[in-house]
Amino acid sequence: MYKKTAVAQAVSLALAAIALAQPALAQEAVSGAPIQRVEITGSSIKRASAETASPVQIITAADLAKSGKGTVAEYLQTLTADGAGSLPTGFGNGFAAGSTAISLRGLGATSTLVLLNGRRMAPFARADDGQKSFTDLSTVPMEAVERIEILKDGASSTYGADAIAGVVNIILKKNYQGLTAKVELGESRYRDGETQKASVTWGKGDLDTDGYNVLVSAELYQNNELLNKDRADRAWIGHGDIRPWGYPLATQFAAGDVRGGVAGATPTGAIRNPLTNAYEYLPGCSTFSTSVQPVPANGCVWHADQFRSMQPQINGGNLYARGTKIISSDLQVYAEAGYSRRDTAFTLTPASITPTIAFPPNATFPTGVKNFGSGAGTTIVLAANHPQNPYGVPVRVRYSAFDVGASTRSADNAFSRFVVGVKGNKFGWDFDAGYVHSQSTLDLAYSNMLNMNVVAAALGNPASPYFPYYIGTQAGKNPASLYAAMVTTATSHSVTKLDIVDFKASREFFQLPGGALGVAVGAEHRREKLDNPSLSGTLDGSINSSYVAAKGDTNVSAVFVEVAAPVLKTVELSAAARYDKYANFSATTPKVGAKWTPVRTFALRGTYSEGFRAPGPAEAGVDSQSTGTATARDPIRCPNGTPAPGASTNDCSASIAAVKVGNPNLSPEKSKGATLGLVWDPLNNTSLSLDAWKIKRSNEINPLPYSEAAALPTAVRSDNNLVVNGVVIPNSGTLLISKAPYRNSSYTEIKGVDLDIKQRFGLGSYGRGTVGLTWTHIASWMRAESETVKYQFAGTHGNCDTSNCAGTPKDKISMVAGWDWNALNVTATANYRSDMKNVLFVGDVCASKLANGADAPNGCKLASFTTIDLSARYNLTKNIQLFGSINNLFDKIAPLDPLTYGGLSYNPMDASGAIGRYFKAGARYSF
């Protein structure tokens, strides 16, 4: 039987006090009693003596079950510490579609380190925004989770890169015995969006009595696709056309004739009169578009909700196994193996035949951009003798290929992980050594893409075997051979690999007045590889999609040391330092912490840490390039928030594309973080913690802000230049694409406060009740591009350069109330986010306008949003449990949000208010 000595246990507990969550150190005492915010004496909640110097939030398996959430990611994205840059399931038009991620403090998923059992996992095989590597949370089997520890300050001193905003350590079961089978079904109140999930978890052997344990957990799940048009009667939810709520026609989800004389992609086809340069629309709009037309028989408008998914079709499964064998009283071996498969499909809009696309420059196209709408040598035209051209000369054409159909993006992700290790005690040292191999693959398939060479020839070259390509209502004349040549499925196969060898050891040394000095040391070598080729056909601009690729590998060697010093019975000091060696740079990251407990029910604590994030392959690789899109104001066509003469309101809230190219000369990002807080048990059944925190991330790796890049002369624009007093202003046409290379430039500084309160009530013969409240307040979220150019995002809709433009609310609150009575548990959870000014940053003009020119929404304020979820569990017998939940109990509708591009007219943070009331029910059998 393997047991630690009392000395070793004391060291482990001391190290736990500084929240350095290594498996052999602070994640758990070997006795199995984790240092966490739980009841430790009878019916009281006494946390002051158990809290660490660092603020740590503990989520137990029971918390997950009571929440009614279906996945680990779904639960973590309700945390008040989660912010902008979080990746929800429904973000289908993002780079990393098909994945899920958490973004602590709104610093992006790439600055949140996610661990499984204290060790890293291979990142998702495609970087978010074409830039940011992150860990996909959907690979974690929820039924195998024992607890999740959220370390809310930096931990680069223990783990190295990426822990700037904090650490999410998901700890799976290690000594489970028995069998648990679970089935769960769900659907919305609209009788759609169905989910099905089944899981089995089996464990055998007790480590203490049998000397071994084997655990196997498997789960299968399916989520049915939900389209935006399925919510057509849910106020503005899912609507691309928000004119009924006072908005103008020209919004980001409208297409066709929306710019006042500059035709967009339209399903009928529009051709430009060579005498007037005005576009004239072919007939038949009502055949294709479901949108109300602004002017009868003139133009054709359509909206994205006619096609686009709200939630994707998902089919997946997770398999996890762990085995542990006690070799002797001071030695054990263990192994873990995991496999996850997740196939995701999103429906998007039909392709335009006149896109502007970017790719690596070549001899023919030294700019690396093809503008099929108005570019020199690339403009798509209708030949003079095309049957649908009445003018007898080649003319420009605009067309959205409804005849080809909507595009579907399939993202099939497979994740595998293998760990083998040995741990024990030798020469007075507790040690843990292991090897990890982890791999993530991603197969992308984008259907109904266009071969642009065939499109150009079929419309404009009479000598082509595919000429003429009939558009709009006459597309039925086209032969199958044309579509066979013109329509393609673009694919790519991406792989990330991670290999780690690590060693950690800890022991006690001499006695201090408060106890023994604890010391831990460790070393690690890590190799990361990424091969993310672009979609087929994008290398030279042959299809209607820009080039997005990243490639690179990294070797890292590191050593670290930690010290826990109980210098007095009431004072604990801790320190840690780590040295990381990369090929092009090295980093030394320290951390110090202190905790003072003058009485058993009260403690003061604080930490200071430094961290870093190494440039990822997508940022630093010489073969890396991506083109991203974000919502921004065109500074040329919409100066000071007002459309210039000849421009439209769409130029004031446009989807701006930017080419971003890898830069091998980048330096790592650096951070400094500090926390100061208290833990207090003022009453027998009451406890609270209050922590102020500050993080400054400097030398940030960012492209030039989209709005600033749009003002540069390198920006690619259409040739519909503005005319003032009869004089044409050069390079003032509709913005198509900008150049925004990566650089080390800005810094971000965030300040805030976390409050956590727990209260327990005795209800006599009616059981007991508990209430918990977690509140995160962001006092400042400031990004500085220079000493003179600074953007304050706290309480605003920015930063829109990050994923899905979800905004930065100042306050997020989660309140949980539970009632236990005999075999019944009922839990209600209220989630609140505060309102946000609909500006891109503090002091900016309103980002959205109504058709009458008034600030929108609600005078330029996105309303706050609160939902309540209810769940119940009932133990029918000793072995059978019935459970159910209602998400968004009162069916609250998410506020109208015209700015975000993560959801159609609703904020992705408010997705439950878009889907509507959702029911789940299931049963669990265990013995």
**How far apart, in Å, are the Cα atoms of 665 and each of 28, 614, 692?**
41, 12, 36
Q: Which two tokens stand for residue 738?
A: 């900008």
Going by DSSP bridges, is the β-strand pair 166-172/112-116 parallel, antiparallel, or unpaired?
parallel
Most distant CA pair in the chain: distance in Å? 97
For 108-117, give one letter per residue: b (16+ CB within 10 A) or e: bbbbbbbbbb
Residue 299: strand pairing partners: none
Residue from 154, 396, 377, 387 nearest 263 by CA: 396
What is the spatial distance between Cα 639 and Cα 330, in angstroms, rounded to a whole number? 72
Confidence at residue 581, expressed as pLDDT on a 0 to 100 scale: 95
What is the spatial distance between Cα 335 and Cα 425, in angstroms, rounded to a whole number? 18
**How far apart, in Å, are the Cα atoms of 458 and each of 381, 400, 463, 483?**
10, 15, 9, 11
What is the spatial distance between Cα 916 and Cα 566, in angstroms, rounded to a whole number? 52
For 141-157, give one letter per residue: b (16+ CB within 10 A) or e: bbbbbbbbbbbbbbbbb
What is the spatial distance between Cα 829 and Cα 771, in angstroms, rounded to a whole number? 10
């000071």: which residue's tokens?
640
Confidence at residue 204, expressed as pLDDT on a 0 to 100 scale: 96
Non-local CB neighbours of 42 within 8 Å, separated by 6+ positions: none
- Residue ranges of the chain with per-residue pLDDT less than 70: 1-51, 92-97, 129-131, 259-262, 296-297, 802-803
What is the spatial distance between Cα 897 and Cα 245, in angstroms, rounded to a whole number? 11
CA quadruple 884, 887, 889, 890: dihedral, nearest 10: -160
Confidence at residue 34, expressed as pLDDT on a 0 to 100 scale: 35
> For residues 433 and 524, is the Cβ–Cβ distance under 8 A?
no
Number of CB atoms found within 10 A of residue 243's CB = 18
What is the spatial distance between Cα 138 and Cα 100, in angstroms, rounded to a whole number? 6
**How far apart, in Å, are the Cα atoms of 754 and each of 15, 80, 773?**
23, 9, 10
Beta strands in 228-330 (DSSP E): 254-256, 270-272, 279-281, 301-303, 309-311, 313-328
**How far apart, in Å, are the Cα atoms of 609 and each of 18, 161, 165, 305, 694?**
12, 13, 11, 46, 10
Tally of residues, the chain:
927
Question: Cα-flanking dihedrals φ and ψ of residue 24, to 5°?
Answer: -90, 0
Confidence at residue 738, expressed as pLDDT on a 0 to 100 scale: 79
pTM, 2 dp: 0.88
Confidence at residue 852, expressed as pLDDT on a 0 to 100 scale: 93
